Structure 1
């Protein structure tokens, strides 16, 4: 009996680096199971970077290769997130989404998205002719469209704050304004973490550091590819007179060469509506403005074989993105291909985000989620969209793979 009681006592905590939606979803999953958790966040608030700068979309699973981590975790995550928002009284607006083919050539790609949607179990997906599209959204132009009526919009920062509250109410620790300055793997069941104020001895460490993921992984001795290349995603916001012309989310058919979804129209839960994002190389890891330049980051990119391969393969696209960033009419031209009524006077600037895009050594843009483990350290190496949608499912997956020793649960 004494042995059993001893095994149930709290043991060395699990650490989480990063208080974005994925990091706090993992922390919440652990804390709710009785596992002692310590979360480290260098910013003074949760959801300070990618979580707080995205489009706020709950993706249904249209785009992802069937059987991929994105496909399976997105579909699982939608159900978990919808139920969580209902339980906590958080906004979950099933506004619906249209993916629009702007010409006959794009209908071939749209049929492939329809096939993926059905294979992934996206509910109520429907093919629309051009006439049916105009009947549903008269101000949207296209020759065909896919309708996903269950695609939703939410407030991801609010959800993340709620996750943080759950962690604390379950006895976990959330250390804001606390950067991790050192990581030392001591054994398969121990990792020591340094912060400016103190050091922590942990049984496991899960790195959900987004834009800093590869640097944090390297600090823990995990030199595996990929590395992070930051891309700034710039938005335009519809002015009040224009934002109610379209009710649903409107997306173009994406270029299959890239993991980006193109400039799209997204209503927000606060009543705003945004166009974007584009994808422009950021000159700092957290380069939300054009003038944000980090010489350390530029030096790293200059030394990076992965970035050189990427630049050689896609420089023409990069030039086009920069042109759209600098010239609003060029940016609007993309949106005008399906919203032909848009004029410069219909939009104003909106806050930008920065995407942590993982790139393999050969310059390939990593599309699927990628999670890597070395000893007691698990690193989320690539978690772009739909990571926010899938956050609770990603947390389930990571926690199941931690292989916590007997006695971790209270």
Structure 2
């Protein structure tokens, strides 16, 4: 067993963990900072399996951590991408209402965008939609000029390079954290390969954030419920159906944005994702099963309250997962001419969604401070867009 002492240890090499390390070294160059990752690479899960969208911040409740960090993170990430030649493009998107009962929610989204400081938002009448997306259909829309696309894996790789090669941070891969022991103001982080001592710990463990948090705060009030998002891609000869990004009006009761169309920075058009309960925290296929993960979900009291609240919606998501016809039908609300044959299998991602004991799906970011330990317990979308802001925010707390 190896043992070394650090000023700070960060658990998790997704975008948020990398950003925390990067900002800590920027502000305190003499501090020893270590990043621990259980996989053999950065951005192995949520950070590398998302849709690659630069979110504008239009959806989020004004004053929330999501709103604050998305707006500031968007600006910081754009500057970062320009400075380090990260592939990105500001292309704008449409949010389309396809029925009268969605127009009220659409107006609320427009108002939120204005309250969050977005400029240039446009309300689009039915007959104007074709000016932006010739094949799309709806009764009203919002044009969001700030939305863009970016290569998040490249962002992660650059952050790792800057952290380790230019700023002197250290990183180890292929080590799983199995225990954390506290001895006064010092903490011992035991991993599958050794142990490390640190004054400060910042856990950014994504799909396992609740488990890492439980190592230092036993009575946890949150549990990660994994939801898989599955994508199709448009056949190359049908990619002309979509210019940029086309989104539906999201269900306000459910913290997901609904199936949509996204032009990817590396080429191609994705359609999706749905939101299906995953049987494994890193279960990217329907047949992926982890018994401990299933037990963690089924024995959490909040899960059964979710079933009561959203059972019908969840059943529809499962049906859409198993039926390409149903998936296509959902997409046809936005682009009526799309057909099953236009879709080919794409990738998938698993979203770490925190849920409390009362069955509430936590919508905002959740950052728990426990002395000189900080746990990022809930960081779903737009955490990728907001990663530099979140990292800056947390590093300030450690520095102070």
Would you call these one fold, judging by a TM-score over 0.5? yes
Which of 317, 320, 323 matches 1:321? 317
Aligned to 1:186: 183
Question: Could you state the TM-score of these two structures normalised by the residue count of structure 2?
Answer: 0.96
Deviations 1:28-77 (A, max 9, x none): 00011213210000000100000010000010011001111111110000
Deviations 1:171-201 (A, max 9, x none): 10111111112111223x3211012322111
Aligned to 1:16: 10
Deviations 1:137-171 (A, max 9, x none): 11000111100112010010110010000110211
Which of 172, 176, 181 matches 1:175? 172
Aligned to 1:261: 257
Aligned to 1:90: 86
Quick check: 61-70 or 216-225, which moved more? 216-225
Please list, as runs of the form range in 1=range in 2, the aligned pairs for 1:150-229 lying within 5 A after superposition. 150-168=146-164, 169-187=166-184, 189-229=185-225
Aligned to 2:20: 26
- The Cα shift of 1:270 comes to 1.1
Give ranges in structure 2 of 5+ residues lacking alignment.
none
- The Cα shift of 1:399 comes to 1.4
Aligned to 1:247: 243
Which of 125, 129, 135 matches 1:139? 135
CA contact (8 A) 1:190 1:376 kept: no
Quick check: 82-91 or 293-302, which moved more? 293-302
1:200 aligns to what SS in structure 2?
strand
Give ranges in structure 1 of 5+ residues lacking alignment.
1-10, 405-410
1:131 aligns to what SS in structure 2?
helix
1:110 and 2:76 aligned: no
CA contact (8 A) 1:214 1:381 kept: yes
Aligned mates of 1:190, 1:123 — CA distance in 2 = 47
User: Which has the larger share of strand?
Assistant: 2
Question: What is the number of residues matched between the two proteins?
Answer: 393
Please, what is the CA RMSD of the aligned residues?
A: 1.1
Aligned mates of 1:403, 1:185 — CA distance in 2 = 20
Question: Could you state the TM-score of these two structures normalised by the residue count of structure 1?
Answer: 0.94
